Structure 1
């Protein structure tokens, strides 16, 4: 009898990853409320130990052996690093500076209010049960981490949703990206603060000093080499900075964002950036979704996890909408404008899951909290298109308003 090899099991897992979510999305035509990326995330959860592993433990154990999971994790790490790197490159700080008052007020309230709501929800959870906290983090890290997870806007997924709504290149679409970009910087900055390890502070300081110096050299190099070489050199830079960030304890994902944030999108071209991001989403990010699903746990009970997810969803959505409404009142926006912007900025999807993955890796949150955050991210993203589409039709005059 033929013994099944690790390679064969890996390819079986890849078949499952790419076939089932796509068939569900295509045949059931879920794109209006659940884009393919959302179906893939949900598929990862269903294929994880909490669902497939619980229903068919022998089949789950026969396919997702430790060596297969290790191989999938390797693909997932590089996939998500490239994804976050592109998100960093897409930040348009020049435009934000030109409109700094409007951008600062909107991005500030869009971040601060859901952060406070999320921190309050985290306090409720930790008082409910200490099992929501990780075993390596301090309470303030868990509370601030969950608060920031509730404040996240998924910038790359936001781009895909704006494309779907056909407003990406319109003034309102560019405004929304500008607000999300500023919040992205703050989110990753706070994550770096959460991960500061005073035992490693010297190593982290060394990394940041070397990164600042190397960034100056990298920017000079990028402007001198041919455009066809920039992608390759950029990926080398990504691996180097990710390695340095992980070595000093800041996590490779913080390094991936920093590696992209110091580069300019104009060096790569917006069309090439869109194509690269879409290629990552098509070819390797589904593996990350599965590896994310493999980490979901329901040990506190399914009802408790769903209850926590509902609490976090309420904190996230209401906080974002209230924050944007406050900004709109200060800036004298037109009626309905804040609602459209708020609903688009509340979408979580991948960046929130990546953020939560880092908190889980560092032991700041528990597996159950991670599962609740993942469910919250999926629900917030599924709400976006159905809620925003009729609002855009009713307020089409706002589409060309530049701020």
Structure 2
């Protein structure tokens, strides 16, 4: 067993390699119309066994060891555990920052359209995904013995229906769509889709463990948490804006009072811990906590302080953990390759078609509706969270994990270029995507690691870091 000094020394090296790999590939991916989070995702997959492990297996296994033998029995390597914990911390802080930047006032003006689009955008993918999942259980190599047909159907329904809210928030900011109807409705739909996916996942995990009590705990505990935060938590947190620091309290933080910062961090950590305990995952707890934070100068300062740390140090560890569990060699089997193509087709077509058509019926033009359908396919981070839960709970096999990881990367990769293609077409034809059809304005901020202000003019031009 490695010592604590050996574990920490190796972890520092791992994090440095992750950051260097991401930065090396970012210029290339930027030219392909991607946002930075895609570069972080790609770095995670490249450093895993499928690419780095194939090219230099001994170096990859030394740098990112997965197992360690203790008493003749394999256990998870302490460094893999450390990467997982660092990634989880980055994940909940990221979701808090996204929630704290959500524009509730804009959503209210488009609530009817967002509701209809969300409903159809989640139901159609769920139904088609459930059909594929039911069939895949019978194939015997994608789900474990714990799973029945209906449980497999629910799991794949969740996997196909999910839209990565944090990744979408990144894209919306990067494309200058923050205070537009397109950006707001896309984020609202993603929030609903993710909530439905987590409910389905909680049911699958609970029933796979023969414990319906777990499903009831997830539903009841999650509802109680949301009610408490919206009815009571918001009022208590509003007092942070009236905080008067003692003399010298904020000297070391550049004007940011230490007291409110500590309170905010404690709230986020407790929220993440509670929602993890009840079974709806820490990311939703952190997001709701951010949603309920009082807007103002204090929150802006906190975001400015946390943004670089989360973006460039903590969150990339989550992607490398996912990449280490992905084995692309499994896809070379003809049967698995065919299933991969089927899942990709169903996932992309159901989201793009359902969201695009219903958005058009709600008054959007074809180009704006097409852009919204493209954005809905950005599954990214939330899909990877769902996959990791399914794998750690013993619900899915390495084959299905790899299939869905590939689907995640491909659909997220095409989301931004396709959205910008529709946007560019609309711009050239004199159609722009504002709150009510007017040109997007450069106002407000939304957490986006490494973000800068969106350049005025052609909305297809995005900020670069």
The TM-score with structure 1 as length reference comes to: 0.85
1:331 aligns with 2:366: no
Deviations 1:364-386 (A, max 9, x none): 22222122111111111211232
The 1:199–1:34 alpha-carbon spacing in structure 2 relative to 1, beyond 3 Å, is same
* Whole-angstrom CA distance in 2 between matches of 1:268 and 1:307: 52
Whether the 8 Å CA contact 2:359–2:372 is kept in 1: the answer is: no
The 1:141–1:93 alpha-carbon spacing in structure 2 relative to 1, beyond 3 Å, is farther
* Whole-angstrom CA distance in 2 between matches of 1:269 and 1:287: 25
* Whole-angstrom CA distance in 2 between matches of 1:30 and 1:101: 35
How far 1:214 moved relative to its partner? 5.1
> Which of the residues 224, 233, 240 maps onto 2:263?
233
Quote the residue 2:424 is aligned against. 393
The 1:324–1:207 alpha-carbon spacing in structure 2 relative to 1, beyond 3 Å, is closer
Quote the residue 1:222 is aligned against. 237
Q: Which runs of 5+ in 1 are unaligned?
A: none
Quote the residue 2:180 is aligned against. 170
> Which of the residues 212, 237, 240 maps onto 1:198?
212
What SS is found at the alignment partner of 2:352? Answer: helix
What SS is found at the alignment partner of 1:284? Answer: helix
How far 1:253 moved relative to its partner? 4.0
> Which of the residues 302, 313, 328 maps onto 1:283?
313
Structure number with larger C-alpha Rg: 2
Quote the residue 1:49 is aligned against. 49
The 1:153–1:132 alpha-carbon spacing in structure 2 relative to 1, beyond 3 Å, is same
> Which of the residues 300, 314, 323 maps onto 1:293?
323
> Which of the residues 337, 346, 350 maps onto 2:381?
350
Quote the residue 1:8 is aligned against. 9
Between stretches 254-263 and 37-46, larger displacement belongs to 254-263
Whether the 8 Å CA contact 1:33–1:383 is kept in 2: the answer is: no
Between stretches 147-156 and 45-54, larger displacement belongs to 45-54
Quote the residue 1:183 is aligned against. 193
Q: Which has the higher contact order (CA 8 A, sep 6+)?
A: 1
What SS is found at the alignment partner of 1:131? Answer: coil
Deviations 1:6-54 (A, max 9, x none): 333222212211112211223x354434433222222222222344335
Deviations 1:287-316 (A, max 9, x none): 111111111135745345544333222112
The TM-score with structure 2 as length reference comes to: 0.75
Between stretches 214-223 and 147-156, larger displacement belongs to 214-223
1:4-403 equivalences in 2 (<5 Å): 5-26=6-27, 28=28, 30-65=30-65, 66-92=77-103, 95-127=106-138, 129-196=139-206, 197-200=211-214, 207-208=221-222, 211=225, 215=229, 216-226=231-241, 228=257, 229-260=259-290, 262-263=292-293, 269=299, 273=303, 276-277=306-307, 279-297=309-327, 300-303=330-333, 304-396=335-427, 397-400=431-434, 402=436
Q: What's the Cα RMSD here? A: 3.2
Between stretches 336-345 and 61-70, larger displacement belongs to 61-70
User: Is the helix fraction higher in 1 or 2?
Assistant: 1
The 1:177–1:267 alpha-carbon spacing in structure 2 relative to 1, beyond 3 Å, is farther
* Whole-angstrom CA distance in 1 between matches of 2:410 and 2:80: 26
Deviations 1:223-281 (A, max 9, x none): 11237555432321222233233334444445444544555666965686487456422
Between stretches 271-280 and 107-116, larger displacement belongs to 271-280
* Whole-angstrom CA distance in 2 between matches of 1:32 and 1:234: 38
Whether the 8 Å CA contact 2:374–2:418 is kept in 1: the answer is: yes
